[in-house]
Amino acid sequence: MIVYLNGLFLPAEQAHISVLDRGFIFGDGVYEVIPVYSRIAFRLSEHLKRLQHSLDGIKLPNPHSDAEWTQLVNELISHHDSADQYLYLHITRGVAERDHAFPDPPVAPTVFMLSKPLLPPANDLLKNGIACISATDNRWLRCDIKAISLLPNVLLRQMAVDAGCAETILFREDQWLTEGAASNIFVIKDGTLYAPPKDNLMLPGITYDIVLELAALHDLPHQVRRISKAEVLAADELILSSSTKEILAITRLDGLPVGNGKPGVVHGRLYDYYQNFKREVMRAL
């Protein structure tokens, strides 16, 4: 597997970082996950914009211009066989003696990228939907930053795995829907799609934006506003979105069926719109 590290494309087993890297020591860095379809990075400029937002959020200068990122991303894609790839991009504050404060003078950031085949969600998940659990959102107040320090997300996601479920849906103060441990969440009630607002409590998902764009394009009633836990529990349908999972129906929550317990009509519409959109925008057919 060829990866990118600090200016070089090299086999993963030859890519090494220092034990003093602040990403390793403090989780001091940010990342992006970019889906690649037909060898084209999907929504690259939006991912680069969010990357800039994350870098600004941790006061780390962007080591590359968008044009340079585009070139690096395309070169990494060209080193891999799969037409569809899962591209991971990661920047840390670099290598310095251990001290919480930023290195002064600043040191060179560590820039790492890997790519692996992107597999679509299994048919069974598309047909039957996924089961989720709910939990209190106990993360920090800058969840809009795509930070590599993911321990809360790791623990919250593992709660779902331990319960035999796919994802954990998070509620602030046990009351307000934010997102999933690694995904965004939508609620459907009486034919309207509801999404929580993009604020400091959730990651501004690239797929989340596409879902809302598709809803607008196809005249699907939709509203962005705070959503209570009671509304989630009374939903007709629940939908999960992320770059790697695309759009999945949530058919069980905390052991109970969501709506009639099957993927719903609105999920079906959005899923089809998304696949068509991907084909039209991305596929080199």
What residues act catalytically? 146
Instruction: Answer yes or no whether residue 110 interacts with ligand PDD by CB under 6 A.
Output: no
Measured from the CB atom, is 203 or 235 closer to ligand PDD?
203
Instruction: Answer yes or no whether residue 192 interacts with ligand PDD by CB under 6 A.
Output: no
Instruction: Answer yes or no whether residue 183 interacts with ligand PDD by CB under 6 A.
Output: yes
Give the x/- contact pattern for ligand PDD in 243-272, rule: CB under 6 A. Answer: xx----------------------------
Q: Which stretch, 65-73, 103-111, 201-209, 215-223, contacts ligand PDD (CB under 6 A)?
A: 201-209
Neighbouring C-beta atoms of residue 225, cutoff 10 Å: 9
> Please, which of residues 142-171 interact with ligand PDD by CB under 6 A?
153
Answer for which of 166, 206, 215, 282 binds ligand PDD (CB under 6 A) is 206
Instruction: Answer yes or no whether residue 203 interacts with ligand PDD by CB under 6 A.
Output: yes
Q: Are 235 and 189 in contact (CB under 8 A)?
A: yes
Answer for which of 17, 33, 107, 125 binds ligand PDD (CB under 6 A) is 33
Q: Which stretch, 1-9, 212-220, 226-234, 235-243, contacts ligand PDD (CB under 6 A)?
A: 235-243
Q: Which stretch, 127-135, 156-164, 242-250, 272-280, contacts ligand PDD (CB under 6 A)?
A: 242-250
Instruction: Answer yes or no whether residue 132 interacts with ligand PDD by CB under 6 A.
Output: no
Instruction: Answer yes or no whether residue 115 interacts with ligand PDD by CB under 6 A.
Output: no
Q: Are 177 and 195 in contact (CB under 8 A)?
A: no
Task: Compute the least distance from the CB of residue 246 to ligand PDD, in Å.
Answer: 9
Task: Compute the least distance from the CB of residue 24 to ligand PDD, in Å.
Answer: 18
Report how far residue 238's alpha carbon sits from residue 137's, in angstroms, rounded to the nearest whole number: 18
Instruction: Answer yes or no whether residue 205 interacts with ligand PDD by CB under 6 A.
Output: yes
What is the full DSSP assignment across the chain? -EEEETTEEEEGGG----TTBHHHHH--EEEEEEEEETTEETTHHHHHHHHHHHHHHTT---SS-HHHHHHHHHHHHHT---SSEEEEEEEE--B-SS-SSPPSS--PPEEEEEEEEPPPPPHHHHHH-EEEEEEE--S-S-TTS-BS--HHHHHHHHHHHHTT-SEEEEEETTTEEEEETTBEEEEEETTEEEE---STTS---HHHHHHHHHHHHTT--EEE---BHHHHHT-SEEEEEETTTEEEEEEEETTEESTTSS--HHHHHHHHHHHHHHHHHT---
Q: Which stretch, 1-9, 69-77, 128-136, 239-247, contacts ligand PDD (CB under 6 A)?
A: 239-247
Answer for which of 85, 134, 168, 184 binds ligand PDD (CB under 6 A) is 184
Backbone angles phi, psi at 225, to 5 degrees: -165, 170
- Number of residues lying near ligand PDD (CB under 6 A): 15
Answer for which of 242, 247, 271, 282 binds ligand PDD (CB under 6 A) is 242
Task: Compute the least distance from the CB of residue 253 to ligand PDD, in Å.
Answer: 18
Distances (CA, A) of 135 to 139, 165, 173, 282: 11, 13, 10, 36
Catalog residues that contact ligand PDD under the rule CB under 6 A.
Answer: 33, 153, 179, 182-184, 203, 205-208, 241-244
